[in-house]
Amino acid sequence: NAGVTQTPKFRVLKTGQSMTLLCAQDMNHEYMYWYRQDPGMGLRLIHYSVGEGTTAKGEVPDGYNVSRLKKQNFLLGLESAAPSQTSVYFCASSSPGQDYGYTFGSGTRLTVV
């Protein structure tokens, strides 16, 4: 049982480059989330999805896009990376019957130079 898997684990991008972060869960969860973690800022919600084909903006959505074409996958895209997007990105999933909150992935450490 893999839980939530994020790929890649590490990436270095040049300013202006694009990339996609993949999150996959095998628990049949309805809800999926993308967070970024920065020192002293805690976890900030970027985008989330409450079901296949649906997405919504979180607290800090600018510069990111998401897609959820399949229930098990939630993709986070950076169209034109900026140094301010250097961060650790976490994906999480949950479902209405899951009373322990989220299951988290292990994170993607992204550096934009």
User: By the criterion CB under 8 A, which residues form the site for another protein?
Assistant: 4, 30-31, 33, 40-43, 45, 48, 50, 56, 90, 92, 94-96, 98-107
Nearer to another protein, 44 or 65 (CB): 44
Torsion sign, CA atoms 94, 65, 21, 52 = positive
Nearer to another protein, 12 or 56 (CB): 56
Instruction: Give Cβ neighbours of residue 84 (< 8 Å, ≥ 6 apart).
Output: 63, 112
Smallest gap from Cβ 111 to another protein, in A, equals 14
Dist CA 88 CA 21 (whole Å):
11
Q: What dihedral angle (degrees, nearest 10) is formed by the CA atoms of 78, 83, 84, 90?
A: 50
**∠ CA 23-85-47, rounded to 5°:** 45
Smallest gap from Cβ 15 to another protein, in A, equals 25
Nearer to another protein, 26 or 79 (CB): 26
Smallest gap from Cβ 42 to another protein, in A, equals 4
Smallest gap from Cβ 105 to another protein, in A, equals 6
